[in-house]
A = this chain, B = another copy of it.
Amino acid sequence: MPVRVQASDFDAGAEIARVTAGRTDIGAIVTFTGTVRGAAHGEPINAITLEHYPGMTEAELERIEALAHERWPLQAATIIHRIGRLTPGENIVLVVTASAHRQAAFEAAEFLMDYLKTDAPFWKKEELASGNAHWVDARDTDTTARDRWAGSTEVKPD
């Protein structure tokens, strides 16, 4: 199950174990865990709610993962993204990459996060401590981060 969208939490250590179990051809495992911060633009938040596009989400994550496998010699790549209401400190997303060498594992993990941030159909709504709630705006820096990975042939919206 290299790609999962779920309400429940995940355990990075367990996912590393799942990827490496019984193998001796892996030398480097990188994980990225994204968590809910307790403040947004200096204002405390109570929670975020993650909406997604069932079906397309899984298809996009699988597409992104396939792109990573094309670019780097990976023994494994895992993407887990939570949905629903999450409070500060909770996990949001986990990426795990495994390769023989560290550079491939690091680059592939960054690549997966950069593409996930711009291409995977998730939307985040913040509930502020003040009682207001708003949809988070996309950041230009995320598009910039994705676009540093030259060579994608995928047609993307501007």
Q: Which residues of A contact B (CB under 8 A)?
A: 11-14, 16, 20, 22-39, 88-89, 100, 102-103, 105-106, 109-110, 113, 145
Contact = CB atoms under 8 A, between A and B. Distances in A.
Contacts of A145: 103
Nearest to A87: B24
Given A12-B16, A20-B89, A30-B31, 8 more contacts: A13-B14, A13-B16, A20-B35, A24-B37, A26-B35, A27-B37, A32-B102, A106-B106
7 contacts: A13-B14, A20-B35, A24-B36, A24-B38, A25-B39, A37-B100, A106-B109
Contacts of A38: 24-25
